[in-house]
Chain A
Amino acid sequence: ETGVTQSPTHLIKTRGQQVTLRCSSQSGHNTVSWYQQALGQGPQFIFQYYREEENGRGNFPPRFSGLQFPNYSSELNVNALELDDSALYLCASSSPMGTDTQYFGPGTRLTVL
């Protein structure tokens, strides 16, 4: 059974740029959730995708957007990067309708300069 994977591991961008982070869900899982974890803090929920549709969103601006593909993998896109977007971005998958436990990938560390 393949676990949740994320790419890239690390990323450095400059303010104003755009970034795409990728996540492959665990085998058999059809729900993907994204979280932002600032240094020294607990994660904050960004949004969740279920069967290619957004299924809940946290308190994040529209420049944070996402996609889920037919194979249940997902992307997180952030436009107009700001310094405060520097964080660890965590992807988690679950099944069936988010009722089960969320299993996390290793995360992507984004640094905005």
Chain B
Amino acid sequence: AQTVTQSQPEMSVQEAETVTLSCTYDTSENNYYLFWYKQPPSRQMILVIRQEAYKQQNATENRFSVNFQKAAKSFSLKISDSQLGDTAMYFCASSSMDSNYQLIWGAGTKLIIKP
């Protein structure tokens, strides 16, 4: 069974700073996917970034990048030049073919960007 752990319940940084959110996971699968989703107060879950486990290169999306350490089963999210609109809950999730790609979620990290 897959598990996802986020050990930081809440973080806060000043606008324009860089922040890193931590995530560890456990899986026995070889082919799996890792995701970071953002959930602002509006509640809609928004995809931030996606990583395929078989790709060694870390995924990047504009100001968002990941540090994927496969051996350590670590998948952290770095947000550069943070903006007020980045304030949200951030969830780490994993999926795999063997589990019909159902998403397994961490408990989330509340990120607050201060002006």
Chain A residues within CB distance 8 Å of chain B: 33, 35, 41-45, 48, 55-56, 58, 88, 90, 92, 94, 97-99, 101-107, 109
Pairwise interchain contact B107-A41, C-beta atoms closer than 8 A: yes
Pairwise interchain contact B105-A98, C-beta atoms closer than 8 A: no
Chain B residues within CB distance 8 Å of chain A: 4, 33, 35, 37, 42-47, 50, 91, 93, 95, 97, 99-108
A33 is contacted by which of B4, B50, B103, B105 (Cβ under 8 Å)?
B103
With A56-B100, A101-B35 known as contacts, the answer to whether A42 contacts B47 (CB < 8 A) is no
Q: In the complex, A35→B37 CA distance in Å? A: 14
Pairwise interchain contact A45-B43, C-beta atoms closer than 8 A: no
Nearest-neighbor residue (CB-CB) of A4 within chain B: B44
Q: In the complex, A103→B48 CA distance in Å? A: 11
Taking the closest CB of chain A, its distance from the CB of B110, in whole angstroms, is: 9
Q: In the complex, A35→B105 CA distance in Å? A: 10
Nearest-neighbor residue (CB-CB) of B35 within chain A: A101
Pairwise interchain contact B46-A104, C-beta atoms closer than 8 A: yes
Pairwise interchain contact B101-A98, C-beta atoms closer than 8 A: yes
Instruction: Name the A residues within 8 Å of B93 (CB-CB).
Output: 42
Taking the closest CB of chain B, its distance from the CB of A106, in whole angstroms, is: 5
A56 is contacted by which of B44, B99, B105 (Cβ under 8 Å)?
B99
Taking the closest CB of chain A, its distance from the CB of B40, in whole angstroms, is: 11
Pairwise interchain contact A99-B97, C-beta atoms closer than 8 A: yes
Instruction: Name the B residues within 8 Å of A97 (CB-CB).
Output: 101
With A88-B43, A101-B50, A106-B42 known as contacts, the answer to whether A45 contacts B97 (CB < 8 A) is no
Pairwise interchain contact A45-B102, C-beta atoms closer than 8 A: yes
